[in-house]
Amino acid sequence: MCYEQREGKRVYLGTRAWTDKKLKRPIRAVYHVIERTMEADGQLLLTPRIEAQVFFTTLTCSPWQVLQLYGDHATSEQFHSELKTDLNLECLPSRTFATNDLVQYAGLIAYSLLRAIGQISLQEPDAPVRMRCITDG
């Protein structure tokens, strides 16, 4: 499917599916391609600027829904990365899966406890009150 969102900006949205004997169900590649020949302010580009996103999925929903679901995936990855950094779990200590699994479970328990303690402490009457700071300026 191709549509022109505005003059100089074409959007292609579609899907391709394939099957393999090794796969239990078909895999779809959902693509979202934007071709710009003109900036939003009317400035023409010498060569088209092309942005492409491809999502591989087994979901059966429409390409637009897949784009909505996976579009904000980077934000989730950023939170996941920050969590691993805060718990010092970027580099796992062992070569064995069982040991690393145990370390990750310990990190999960520590994180859950700290979060629960934080939530409970906010309900106490002596919880810190957030106030707006007034700066000289």
Structure tokens at 132: 């707006």
Residue ranges covered by each domain of the chain: 1-71, 74-124
Give residue 2's pLDDT band: very low, low, confident or very high (50, 70, 90).
confident
- Distance, in Å, from the CA atom of 14 to the CA atom of 1, rounded to the nearest integer, reads 6
Structure tokens at 42: 């009317």
Q: Residue written as tokens 């600027």?
A: 49
- Distance, in Å, from the CA atom of 105 to the CA atom of 98, rounded to the nearest integer, reads 11
pTM for the whole thing?
0.53
Per-residue pLDDT tens digits for 41-82:
989 999 999 999 999 988 888 998 888 888 777 777 777 787
Query: Can you tell me whether residue 43 is helix, strand or coil?
Result: coil
Give residue 130's pLDDT band: very low, low, confident or very high (50, 70, 90).
low
Q: Residue written as tokens 């996103």?
A: 53
